[in-house]
Amino acid sequence: MSTATVTFHKLIQEAQDVSSTDSKQNHVVSRVFFRLDLNDEHYAEMSVILRQPFGTDYAKESIEVEKPFGSYAGNWNHNAFRKIVEDYYRSAIGRQGRAMRIGPGSENVRMRGNTIEFSKSYQLEIPQ
């Protein structure tokens, strides 16, 4: 295993709907941008799509994380990556969000096209 540093720096919230009247309409689609530093190589143009499927509870359930895309094409530790990108997202948006707080009792919230920029770094073990 090699240890990489993942530095998230921007989040574009394509859509987030929180409905009190029809929970089947709740969903999230966002894109997170990051840099990957691994073995003295730097991959700056990386991103990943995050989704909350329709009808699931954002606050209680995991967010789906697609395979990242960009300049790095080597081995990957998707389970560990999913945890850190979800932590980054929830630190921006949600009950503890630094940019947008969405908590219990939120009703009929529709957000589109929000760009949130802040950096947060994590260590990620990647198999060789």
Q: Is the distance from CB of 93 to CB of 118 less than 8 angstroms?
A: no
- Write down the pLDDT at residue 95: 62
Q: How far apart are CA 11 and CA 92, in angstroms?
A: 8
Q: Which two tokens stand for residue 93?
A: 């948006």
- Model pTM? 0.80
User: Which residues fall within 8 angstroms of residue 40, CB to CB, at 6 or more apart?
Assistant: none
* DSSP letter string, 102-127: --TT--SEEEEEEEEEEEEEEEEEE-
- Write down the pLDDT at residue 92: 83
- Write down the pLDDT at residue 25: 59
- For the chain, the domain total comes to 1
Domain range spanning residue 80?
A: 2-126
- Write down the pLDDT at residue 91: 87
- Write down the pLDDT at residue 42: 97
How does 106-118 read in b/e, with b if 16+ C-beta sit within 10 Å? eeeeebeebebee
Q: Is the distance from CB of 49 to CB of 63 less than 8 angstroms?
A: no
Identify the segments of the chain with pLDDT beneath 70: 15-27, 53-59, 94-113
- Write down the pLDDT at residue 23: 58
